[in-house]
């Protein structure tokens, strides 16, 4: 065969050769595939090294794969490795999540691991997911179910370990902010069967307290696992008073946290949420006190103003003017009365004088003064000579006196 | 504390509002003030005399 004249070979040679870095770039591009990114891989951990800089290098292979075992090199950078809650060891069955990348300097590809869990744990993760769905369907995490914490609890219940930092922190915060009665409902917070104890500890507080704190210090996913258990979640939901959770660190969210009425980042934060601050209360009370005083002072001032107003209305110039007017009126009336009386008197006097004159002119005395006299017999005026006869005694009245006479003779000028 | 503290504060606010309201008579305002002063005193006592009590439930209860 004429190798040197083969047309296909000639084509290859005519193509410019790739540089290794170019080839690496192509491979890198090919690996940039969604199938290889953010994937979960399960396998046996081998060749584990903890690098001095904190990075972890290891391989994953199929367990019991024998000769056909596939292997992939893995790296876990320090920033991710720091979050490991356990020390991985040779032969451990693990589930990792990560992305496949080419590593040009070694001409190899490797899995960059973000998270590393024990395979058994992986099952627990799945279980938690399953519980979460189930409990959500029961309405355990419903926002509508969340209750408002009492403003002024008289007793608070704490479900936690009797010993350790958690209860100490809560005591300290409560003592500082507003000392009151704390009822500890002690429980184991991790390990097999812990969920039963925790649920009982929550249930036991019913009717004894106004609010419950369920707390646990930080720990691995496995340590916090009991707080994911449906029994604990349902105990929280069934608790007749609001529940505040403070389980693990802020980044660890358990199902108990989701079911609690309020979630606190730490046990101290939970205590702060549960009790009011006495300093704030005292300040607010002082404010109310001063408002009360001001309110009464203002009320009294208003009353004084009212009195002043009334006083003004009671003795105003107008009133005096009216009084003056009335006095004047009275004086006028009295003047008029006096004048009219005097006038009347003058007129009456005039009338009286006229009457007197008239009377005088008709007076018998005046007639007598002109030289007439009146004869009376037995007190009766003698108007006719017929009424007297000789020997009668008569009284003759003059204008300035009278005399007694005896009739000597009676002359009748007319015959009767 | 306390439900009772809370209710006392509520009563106190109510009293203040009544005094501040122009329609309340002076006599009544004085009476209300006396009641308010008593409430303030009681609340102060509650705040100052609060003390930490810790008890632990038995696990078998």
Candidates A144, A121, A127; CA nearest to A259 is A144
List the CATH number of the domain containing A81: 2.40.50.140
Q: Residue A370 pLDDT > 90, yes or no?
A: no
CA distance A229 to A195: 6
Per residue in A377-400, pLDDT (tens digit) is 998 888 888 888 889 999 998 888
Looking at the fold, whether A264 and A176 belong to one and the same domain comes out as yes
| Angle of helix A230-238 versus helix A194-204 axis, rounded to 10 | 10
Is there a single domain that holds both residue A164 and residue A266?
yes
What pLDDT shows up at residue B49? 84
Question: Is A183 near chain B, with CB under 8 Å?
Answer: yes
Whether pLDDT at A65 is above 60: no
Q: Which residues of B touch A148 (CB under 8 A)?
A: none
Q: List CB contacts (< 8 A) between B28 and chain A.
A: none
pLDDT range class, residue A293, cuts 50, 70, 90: very high
Flag whether pLDDT at A272 surpasses 90.
yes
In a domain, A350, yes or no: no
Which residues of A fall within a CB distance of 8 Å from B7?
none
More confident call, A56 vs B24: A56
Q: Do B50 and A278 touch (CB under 8 A)?
A: yes
Higher-confidence position of B59 and A234: A234
Mean pLDDT on A25-41: 91
Q: Is B41 on the interface with A (CB under 8 A)?
A: no
Domain identity same for A62 and A113: yes
Nearest CA in chain A to B4: A152
Q: Is B21 on the interface with A (CB under 8 A)?
A: no
Same domain, residue pair A272 and A380: no
Asked if A209 contacts A156 with a C-beta cutoff of 8 angstroms, the reply is yes
Segment A223-241 shows an average pLDDT of 95
Residue A293 lies in a domain: no
Is any Cβ of chain A less than 8 angstroms from the Cβ of B5? yes
Q: How far does A290 lie from chain B, in Å, by closest CA?
A: 10
Q: CB atoms < 10 A from the CB of A247, how many?
A: 30
- Tell whether B45 is within 8 A of chain A (Cβ): no
Residue A384 lies in a domain: yes
Tell me, yes or no, whether A262 and A158 share the same domain. Answer: yes
Q: Does A349 touch chain B (CB under 8 A)?
A: no
Q: How many domains does chain A have?
A: 3
Rama region for A107: left / alpha / beta (φ>0; ψ in -120 to 50; rest): left
Residues A99 and A213 placed together within one structural domain of the fold: no
Confidence of residue A122 (pLDDT cuts 50, 70, 90): low
Ranges of beta strands (E only) in A239-319 are 243-247, 262-263
Say if residue A109 is in the same domain as residue A16: yes
pLDDT value at A287 more than 90 = yes
Closest approach of A219 to chain B, Cα-based (Å)? 24
- Cβ contact (<8 Å) for A152 and B6? yes
- pLDDT value, residue A8: 56
- Residue A241: per-residue pLDDT: 96
| Per-chain mean pLDDT for chain A | 88
Phi first, then psi, for residue A250 (nearest 5°) are -60, -35
Statement to judge: residues A149 and A26 lie in one domain: no
Q: Chain B within 8 Å of A278 (Cβ-Cβ)?
A: yes
- What is the rounded CA–CA span in Å between residue A71 and residue A49? 16
Same domain for A97 and A42: yes
A and B: number of Cβ contacts within 8 A: 100
| Residues A295-309 pLDDT 10s | 999 989 988 998 888
Any A CB within 8 A of B2 CB: yes
> In angstroms, what separates the C-alpha of B55 from chain A's closest C-alpha?
5
> Which of A118, A153, A182 lies at the terminal end of a domain, its last residue?
A118
Angle (CA) A62-A64-A65 rounded to 5° is 55
B27 touches chain A (CB under 8 A): no
Contact flag A300-B26 (C-beta cutoff 8 Å):
yes
**CA A42, CA A83: separation in Å to the nearest integer?**
19
Q: Structural domain of residue A9, as residue ranges?
A: 3-118
What is the mean predicted confidence (pLDDT) over A187-197?
Answer: 90
Element (H, E) at A78: helix A78-81
Contacts of A119 (CB under 8 A, 6+ apart): A42, A92, A93, A94, A95
Ranking A114-118, A142-146, A159-163, A332-336 by mean pLDDT, the lowest is A114-118
Are A161 and A81 in a shared domain?
no
Decide if A396 contacts A373 (C-beta within 8 A): yes
Domain boundaries, chain B: 3-49
Same domain, A74 and A149: no
Residue A36 confidence class, pLDDT cut points 50, 70, 90: very high
> A227 and A152 in one domain?
yes
Cβ-based burial of A178 (10 A; exposed 0-12, middle 13-18, buried ≥19):
buried
Selection from A13-22, A192-201, A373-382, B15-24 with the highest mean pLDDT: A192-201
Q: Is B40 in contact with A288 (Cβ distance < 8 A)?
A: yes
Has residue A389 been placed in a domain?
yes
What is the nearest CA distance from B28 to chain A, expressed in angstroms?
11
Residue A130 in domain: no
**pLDDT > 70 in chain B, percent:** 92
ipTM value for the complex: 0.84
* Angstrom distance (rounded) from CA A160 to CA A247: 10
Residue A286 has pLDDT above 90, yes or no: yes
pTM: 0.55
Distances in Å between the Cα of A263 and the Cα atoms of A149, A174, A208, A251, A258 are 12, 17, 21, 12, 8
CB spacing of B9 vs A162 below 8 angstroms: no
As a whole number of angstroms, the distance between CA A396 and CA A388 comes to 13
In a domain, A373, yes or no: yes
Tokens, residue A28: 């890198």
Residue A151 belongs to domain with CATH number: 3.40.50.261
Domain end marker among A118, A149, A181? A118
* Nearest CB to A180; choose among B1, B6, B24: B1
**What is the per-residue pLDDT for B1?**
45
- DSSP at A241: S
Ranking A3-17, A301-315, A397-411, B44-58 by mean pLDDT, the lowest is A3-17
The pLDDT of A174-181, averaged and rounded, is 92
- State how far residue A44 is from chain B, nearest Cα, in angstroms: 42
């Amino acid at each position: 065969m004429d190798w040197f004249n083969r047309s296909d070979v000639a084509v290859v040679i005519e193509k410019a050769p790739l540089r290794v870095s170019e080839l690496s770039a192509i491979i890198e591009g090919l690996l940039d595939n969604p199938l290889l990114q953010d994937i979960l891989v399960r396998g046996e951990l081998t060749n584990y090294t903890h690098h001095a800089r904190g990075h972890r290098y290891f391989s994953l292979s199929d367990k019991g794969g024998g000769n056909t075992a596939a292997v992939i090199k893995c790296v876990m950078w320090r920033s991710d490795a720091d979050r490991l809650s356990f020390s991985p060891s040779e032969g451990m069955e693990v589930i990792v999540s990560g992305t496949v990348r080419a590593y040009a300097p070694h001409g190899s590809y490797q899995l960059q691991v973000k998270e590393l869990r024990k395979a058994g744990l992986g099952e627990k993760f799945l279980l938690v997911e399953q519980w979460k769905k189930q409990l959500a369907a029961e309405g355990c995490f419903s926002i509508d179910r969340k209750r408002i914490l009492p403003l002024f609890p008289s007793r608070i219940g704490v479900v936690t370990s009797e010993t350790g930092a958690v209860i100490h922190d809560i005591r300290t915060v409560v003592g500082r902010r507003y000392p009151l009665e704390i009822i500890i409902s002690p429980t184991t917070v991790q390990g097999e069967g812990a969920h039963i104890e925790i649920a009982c500890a929550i249930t036991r507080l019913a009717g004894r307290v106004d609010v419950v704190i369920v707390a646990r210090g930080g720990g691995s996913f496995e340590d916090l696992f009991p707080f994911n258990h449906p029994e604990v979640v349902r105990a929280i939901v069934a608790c007749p008073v609001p529940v505040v959770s403070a389980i693990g660190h802020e980044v660890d969210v358990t199902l108990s946290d989701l079911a609690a009425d309020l979630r606190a980042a730490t046990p101290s934060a939970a205590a702060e949420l549960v009790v009011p601050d006495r300093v704030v209360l005292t300040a607010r009370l002082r404010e109310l006190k001063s408002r009360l005083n001001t309110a009464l002072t203002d009320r009294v001032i208003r009353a004084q103003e009212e009195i002043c107003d009334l006083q003004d209305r009671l003795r105003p110039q107008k009133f005096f003017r009216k009084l003056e007017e009335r006095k004047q009126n009275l004086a006028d009336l009295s003047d008029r009365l006096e004048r009219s009386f005097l006038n009347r008197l003058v007129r009456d006097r005039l009338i009286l004088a006229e009457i007197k004159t008239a009377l005088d002119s008709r007076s018998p005395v005046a007639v007598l003064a002109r030289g007439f006299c009146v004869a009376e017999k037995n007190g009766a005026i003698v108007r006719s000579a017929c009424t007297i006869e000789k020997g009668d005694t008569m009284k003759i009245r003059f204008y300035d006196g009278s005399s007694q006479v005896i009739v000597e003779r009676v002359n009748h000028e007319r015959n009767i | 504390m306390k439900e009772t503290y809370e209710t006392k504060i509520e009563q106190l606010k109510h009293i203040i509002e009544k005094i501040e309201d122009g329609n309340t008579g002076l006599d009544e305002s004085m009476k209300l003030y006396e009641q308010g002063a008593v409430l303030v005193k009681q609340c102060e006592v509650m705040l100052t005399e609060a003390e930490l009590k810790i008890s632990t439930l038995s696990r078998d209860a």
